[in-house]
Amino acid sequence: MRLKIKPERGFGKIEVEINEDLWKKIEDLSERYKVGEDYILRIILTGEFKTPNEDVQNLEKKVQELEKKVYELEKKWAPLRYKAYGVSEDNKILAIELSGLLAENTQLKRFLRKKVEPNFELRKLIEYYIR
């Protein structure tokens, strides 16, 4: 495979012949670390390699253990999140019903010519649960 490297400025460009095995390895690294091939090539050409200070296999085992713990916590969290969503929807329905009952109560007080006192705290609470 022929690779053309163009500078950001100027006219100079470099053409390099890369064999298919090397290109496959670059693509594998790109997929493994979820970065573009150009980023892998830039690291190779500039020599920005980072040598790990610790044992990589040991760190990968720790990551796998942490992933298992995350999955276990997600199993516990998902039903709670579903129940919380159900409760919030129930609260919304109750707030709508309460708002309707307050409006009906106000109309009845006006019909009976009684004093209507607005309850702002209750209205704020209803708006909180409706949103």
Domain contains 51: no
Q: Which domain holds residue 28?
A: 2-46
Q: Which of 10-14, 37-41, 42-46, 110-114 has the lowest mean pLDDT?
A: 10-14
pLDDT number for residue 63: 93
Residues 37 and 78 both lie in one domain = no
pTM of the complete model: 0.48
> How many structural domains compose the chain?
2
Give the separation between CA 38 and CA 8, rounded to whole angstroms: 14
Give the separation between CA 95 and CA 75, rounded to whole angstroms: 31
Residues 63 and 123 both lie in one domain = yes
SS3 35: coil
Residues 38 and 63 both lie in one domain = no
Residues 118 and 70 both lie in one domain = yes
**32-82 pLDDT, tens per residue?**
888 888 888 878 777 776 776 778 888 889 999 999 999 999 999 999 999
